[in-house]
Amino acid sequence: MKKISWKKNLALMSLAALMATSTTNATEETGKPVSLPVHADQALAALQPGSGPIDLNAKPIPKGLGALLGQASRGPAASVFPKIAPSVVVVRAGGGYGTGFVVDADGWILTNNHVIESAGIDIGTASRYAFIHFGDLEDGMMTLNQQASPALVYAASPEKDLALLKLLAVPEGRDLKPIAFAAKNATPGTDCITIGHPKRGVFWSVRSGEVVGIAKYPHDMIDTVMTQMVMASDAKQSFAKSLSESRPRKALLSTCGINPGDSGGPLLNNDGELVAVNFAIPKSEKDSQVNLDKFSYHVHLDEVKEFTAIRPEKSEVFQPNYWPPAATSSFLDVDDDDVYETWRFSIDEETPFTGVVVDLDSDTPANFIEDYKADKQDRNQFECEFALALIPNNRVFYDRDNDGEFDLILTDVDENGFSDLTIAKNSNGWEKIDSKEQRMFDPTVFQDAKLQERFKVLVMSQTKNPEGMAPDGLSPEEAKPEAEASPADSAPADAADSKK
């Protein structure tokens, strides 16, 4: 078996980066290390929780983090706070937390997509879930109710950075009061107020500021525009291409200081009406003489109205990312036919690998490796019909009809070799399928007989026990990843631009 490997220091992965773009010199000799970029989200995926049933007895946020608000703020915020604060909630998902707020008395909650991005998956619905904590207003101050209320994700938009959740049940005795959307958009110079749960602060912290501008994010930002003006032609073209691949988000900027933990919280006018949703603060630059803490970024009300206009009837069937979490990776020629058809990923060189993606019919362009090293090819241009990820759960992906898109995803929570959660794509979109007898490794799911045979050679032949999920000759115990988990106690992580 021939091998080409590459690696990238995990510590260099940036949470804000959409794609690692640096490359280094490499040797082309077979079997020698080849240093290549590794996609940032594969490293971050190692932090994601597993799939499992919703844990109604999950531990709440530690009591030590709850505190009284103290002195009330002066001005309009003092009157807005008691009216709006009970509608603002803590959203706990994937070991971290953010802020959210009630948008409908029936239990609909709005927050940021990045707050629930790494949430666990409920095997009963195939939907991501989060835990919602309400607060109670007492003597003008809010106290945390540590009893969690589970909610499912009904809609999510990475482009708008918004997510719509619905409680499984409205807590008994709690009257939910939605925050009203402002009839008119906020304009530069107008006052604004936010209420949220900033890291290292207190729950339901209220702050005031003013709107400073409105723009398309990140396309209209000064740094984005000015950077392009001084770029060389090739660099400018590459930069423009990168921008064109991301949808601009209408954003509102303010001096209303937010922090990690405030993401998904409401930005309000002096009447307590919603004008935007918090989503980011500028990334810190130690060597810069600019005080970046002056600005906060918020999803504009126009984007919010468009996103919340439709309330889905069912919770969203979530399709996990097929790229395994990784900091290093290797290309393998499993069948020694001089074609590198298997891409293998690991956290580091000393631990068992985290997954593979396999080009069963070897139709990836022959120059893919060289072009990928030169940053001329995107990883998604690797033509794969099968993928295996071992973190956070044993999960396999099949492109049954070989049309270039995965259409069957199996998840084995209890590691018995059979799927505990099966979702499939059909004419109606993605749906959960009841198939308790579906084996994780199953060549018969492919429509093409040639793919079935290639699967046996390239995948099943590399396992001691296909039903035990033990790739590359490892025993099931050796290949065993961490067990599935429900969202843990609050442990927010610092992000670069998108702040929870």
Mean predicted confidence (pLDDT) in 182-206? 96
The per-residue pLDDT of the chain, averaged, comes to 80
Dist. CA 472–CA 460, nearest whole Å: 9
Dist. CA 404–CA 427, nearest whole Å: 16
Output the pLDDT for position 54: 52
pLDDT > 90? residue 396: yes
Dist. CA 37–CA 59, nearest whole Å: 38
pLDDT > 50? residue 11: no
- Cis bond upstream, residue 53 (ω within 30): no
Output the pLDDT for position 432: 95
**What's the CATH class of domain 191-308?**
mainly beta
Domain positions in the chain? 2-48+325-473, 63-167, 191-308
Q: Which of 460, 387, 395, 390 is nearest to 421 (CA)?
A: 395
b vs e for 305-325, b when ≥16 Cβ sit within 10 Å of the residue's Cβ? eebbeeeeeebbbbebebbbb
Distances (CA, A) of 362 to 359, 384, 451, 452, 454: 5, 8, 10, 14, 10
Span 226-243, pLDDT tens digits:
776 667 777 766 666 666
144 pLDDT band (50/70/90 cuts)?
Answer: very high
Beta bridge partners of residue 206, listed in sequence order: 195
Span 291-335, pLDDT tens digits:
556 789 999 999 999 999 999 999 999 999 999 988 889 899 999
Span 256-275, pLDDT tens digits:
999 999 999 999 999 999 99
Least confident of 13-22, 106-115, 415-424: 13-22
Mean predicted confidence (pLDDT) in 347-354? 80
Of 382 and 19, more confident: 382
- 448: which 2 tokens? 């093409």
What Rg value do the Cα atoms of the chain yield, rounded? 24
Which residue reads 């959409």 in tokens? 18
**What's the CATH class of domain 63-167?**
mainly beta
Whole-model pTM: value is: 0.75
Return the axis-axis angle of helices 233-244 and 222-229, rounded to nearest 10°: 150
- Percent of the chain scored above 70 by pLDDT? 71
Least confident of 34-48, 101-115, 144-158, 227-241: 34-48
Q: Please give the DSSP secondary-structure letter assigned to residue 51.
A: B
Dist. CA 60–CA 150, nearest whole Å: 12
Mean predicted confidence (pLDDT) in 166-183? 97
DSSP reduced 3-state for 307: helix
Pairing of strands 191-196, 266-268: antiparallel
Strands (E) in 255-352, as ranges, are 266-268, 274-280, 296-300, 328-333, 342-346
Of 233 and 425, more confident: 425
Q: Which residues contact 352 (CB under 8 A, 6 or more apart)?
A: 346, 390, 474, 478, 479
- 377: which 2 tokens? 């090819």
Domains 63-167 and 191-308 share a fold: yes
Residue 435 burial (C-beta neighbours within 10 Å; 0-12, 13-18, 19+): middle
pLDDT > 50? residue 425: yes
Q: Which of 491, 486, 466 is nearest to 476 (CA)?
A: 466
